Structure 1
Amino acid sequence: MPDVIASTVPLVSILAPAKLNLMLHIVGRRDDGYHELQTLFQLLDYADQLDFYPAPITQTQLLDIHMSGPLARTQDLMNLPLQNNIVYRAAQALYQAGLVRGIAPDSMQKLVVHLHKKIPSGGGLGGGSANAAATLIALNQLWGLQFSTTELASIGLSLGADVPVFVHGRNAWAQGIGEDLTFVNLATQSFLVLHPGCQVATGRVFQHPNLTRSSPKITMRTALEQGGENACQALVCHLYPKVKLALDLLTQISLANQGCPARLTGTGACVFAAFAHQTQAQAGLSLLAKTLANSGLDEQACTYFVAQGKA
């Protein structure tokens, strides 16, 4: 990161939280190929941070992106072309929406964003979608566009089905392709999350002929009171043996500390276990750190942490 930026107070700093899918039912497939879902989004207090700075006068692109953090150089994000980065795409989408609204191009200043990366990519935690939503919110403020939250969520939907829930920043029951949201309050829980060091290709999972696409539809009340399964879990465990190893290991650790059996979030690769109390989750974290080396997983490639669920 250039020294001139590192020594400057950011114009805006914003957190981009991770999410869990507490359950995920696939209830059908639309004519356009998208799947009809039912899921319960739980936002966490574990987050990336995005700091926005004025661009140097020599910068030609709308937004330049710098990354730091323990995961920044271990992921493909460092080598991703700028135009393919979802943060840049979010800035471009908002810029175009501003032009349609009649905002003068020169009033939407060029910026540099410093992304402090904590959320592992390819893990089903929604890190990219959260970063996109944070960018929409921050630039809406910096550029004085005055788009409503609903309008920002609509722009975000063009970037990904998960983006709207992060724009709203609330736990939600979601249907459709994930964009039909009903906001909910959830019981406060602690979660132990484990990324097994592999990336799951979402497209491969959703296109697989063995994916369960006929989960029974349930009501939001049933999901809140009884929970549900993850329709992708069995297939992902079959396709990605490391996910199966992580799921079995975390279940064993969780049950030994009064937690619940581990589950997959989204299409993975992250698995998680829920605990009623943070002390139980922390005990599970300590046990995981001690046993991971002999689990069959690559300890250096894994990421694991405890997070609180947002109520």
Structure 2
Amino acid sequence: MPTQDLRHARTLDNCPAPAKLNLFLHVTGRRPDGYHLLQTVFQLIDHGDLLHFQVRDDGVIRRSTEIAGVPEQSDLIVRAARLLQTHGKIAAGADIAIEKRLPMGGGLGGGSSDAATTLIALNHLWQAGLTRAQLMALGLQLGADVPFFIFGQNAFAEGVGEDLAAVETPDCWYLVIEPGVAVPTATIFCAESLTRDTKVVKIADFSSRPIGFGKNDLQVVASQLFPPVAAAIEWLKAYGDARMTGSGACVFCAFADEQAVDAVLNQVPGIWQAWKAKALTRHPLAHLL
């Protein structure tokens, strides 16, 4: 949980930006503007980045942490802060530090989650007064996954990912493997081999058998273009229903308890980064909205 200086309400430290897993991801069509129509279930997990916020009086928004390959001005964290500042006509600024734990191009929603945590935290610190729905609308301007993290609970998502409905998901542990490659989302969605006609499903279809439901339509394309993704899936399949999250590159498998996930985690080949995470039911900052 974040810690706050209650005397001045000028700092908010240790703010989690949790990762998400796509328990399934179906591409059901494509809009005239080129955006793909999706169905997925977003699952929050207790592993992610940590952000720290300090209010400034001069209106300046500054990222105080260097992130390799991500210029400050294009960082979703900075863009989210400026969007909220402009929308709310906020005179204050902020220094934002981040402890980056999630890989870029991993399909875990790291950048989107960072942006959502920034909107939630600064809405609170700046006393901007925006509702959850208003913050979700702002977040959609930054990326299709951002509204989910502000929504604050596991969700069945449709459209381009912004049409959300709360859904019950399994209480379990996950093993996540980082195959060591970054997969550009655009590369996967632009691939000629991507199928875009998976049959539309209902929430009840997922709820009747949530473990192992559906598939990730992007996985075949990513596996073809990025062999390390295919290798990680093949290895993890020996222990359960292994699949890729998002557009890749990370792959995951569900386990009933921590002991079971630990047993497999200890066997992951050293060529990959791997970690375990517990399924969450709510976003750690949901109480701020």
TM-score, structure 2 normalization: 0.89
Contact 1:25–1:215 (CA<8 Å) still a contact in 2?
yes
Q: Distance in 1 between matches of 2:59 and 2:139?
A: 24
Q: Distance in 1 between matches of 2:88 and 2:96?
A: 19
Count of residue pairs the alignment pairs up: 269
Q: Does 1:78 align with 2:61?
A: no
Map 1:102-181 → 2, pairs under 5 A: 105-106=90-91, 109-181=92-164
Partner of 1:40: 41
- Give % identity: 39
Partner of 2:12: 12
| DSSP 3-state at the match of 2:64 | strand
Partner residue of 1:281 out of 250, 261, 269: 261
Contact 2:49–2:102 (CA<8 Å) still a contact in 1?
yes
Letter in 1 for 2:165: T
Letter in 2 for 1:41: F
Distance 1:140 1:54, change over 3 A: closer
Partner of 1:307: 277
Partner of 1:52: 53
Q: Does 1:64 align with 2:34?
A: no
RMSD between aligned alpha carbons? 1.6
Deviation beyond 3 Å, 4+ runs, structure 1: none
Letter in 1 for 2:11: L
Provide, for residues 260-291 of structure 1, a one-character-per-residue CA deviation record: whole Å limited to 9, x for no partner: 22101011100001111111111110111xxx
Q: Does 1:240 align with 2:218?
A: no
Partner of 1:28: 29
Query: What is the Cα deviation at residue 10 of structure 1?
Result: 7.4
Partner of 1:230: 216
Letter in 1 for 2:192: P
* Structure with the larger helix share: 1
Q: Which runs of 5+ in 2 are unaligned?
A: 1-8, 282-289
| DSSP 3-state at the match of 2:241 | coil
Provide, for residues 27-73 of structure 1, a one-character-per-residue CA deviation record: whole Å limited to 9, x for no partner: 00001100000000000011211011244x8x884222315xxxxxx
Query: What is the Cα deviation at residue 310 of structure 1?
Result: 1.2
Map 1:241-280 → 2, pairs under 5 A: 241-252=227-238, 254=239, 260-280=240-260
| DSSP 3-state at the match of 2:266 | helix
Contact 1:265–1:272 (CA<8 Å) still a contact in 2?
yes
Structure with the greater alpha carbon radius of gyration = 1
TM-score, structure 1 normalization: 0.83
Contact 2:242–2:253 (CA<8 Å) still a contact in 1?
yes
Partner residue of 1:96 out of 69, 73, 86: 86
Q: Distance in 1 between matches of 2:44 and 2:243?
A: 16
Q: Distance in 1 between matches of 2:55 and 2:170?
A: 40
Q: Distance in 2 between matches of 1:65 and 1:135?
A: 14
Query: What is the Cα deviation at residue 142 of structure 1?
Result: 1.1
Map 1:210-229 → 2, pairs under 5 A: 210-226=193-209, 227-229=213-215
Contact 2:59–2:94 (CA<8 Å) still a contact in 1?
no
Q: Distance in 1 between matches of 2:182 and 2:170?
A: 30
Q: Comparing 220-229 with 122-131, which one deviates more in the overlay?
A: 220-229
| DSSP 3-state at the match of 1:274 | strand
Contact 1:43–1:310 (CA<8 Å) still a contact in 2?
yes
Letter in 2 for 1:212: T
Q: Distance in 1 between matches of 2:69 and 2:242?
A: 33
